[in-house]
Amino acid sequence: MQDTKVYVPRVEDMESQMRMLHITNMDDDLILNHMNILEPTPLDSSGNPRDEVMQANEPLDLLLLPGLAFDRKGGRLGRGGGYYDVFLQNYLLLAKDKGWKSPLLVALAYSPQIRDDPVPVDPTDVNIDALLSCNGILTFNSEAEEQISTT
């Protein structure tokens, strides 16, 4: 775990642009934004720009994703801004271009957030691979099932 890198989202503008920036210390590296959400400062404590996941030399293993509701086929309903979907599309394209394996896309949910009926999705929405709740783990593809069963 010592080599684990943690990247945290930082919203850049109202045009669904979000960067994932490397942090090393939650107490020192995060500040409240205008919506009272903790996000990384653009510069580290030495005044240097933070490493960004889109310039990383190694692939991500796992992405934890938020959502308001989820369905039993991997659909994820966000807040409608498209920030995560735009980021995911760009990162998955980068991973493909570099020959990297796609990261496991996992969401955490309370049981009432999991719906039997489909959540509304657009063609640009990216489905999750697995969903964790207090009732267990739902996987939505064989690759996710294999990755989760070996960890």
Cβ partners under 8 Å of residue 82, min gap 6:
16, 124
* Amino acid identity, position 96: K
91 carries a ligand binding annotation: no
pLDDT of residue 29: 93
Cα 119 from Cα 102, distance rounded (Å): 24
| CA pair distance 136, 123, nearest whole angstrom | 28
Domain boundaries, the chain: 1-55, 59-150
> Per residue in 13-62, pLDDT tens?
777 789 999 999 888 899 998 889 899 999 998 999 999 999 999 999 99
Q: Does 7 count as an annotated binding residue?
A: no
CATH number of 59-150: 3.40.50.10420
CA 93-96-101 angle, 5° bins: 120
Q: 77 a known binding residue?
A: yes
Is 80 annotated in a binding site? The answer is yes
Has 74 been labeled as part of a binding site? no
pLDDT over 50 at 1, yes or no: no
pLDDT of 69 over the 80 cut:
yes
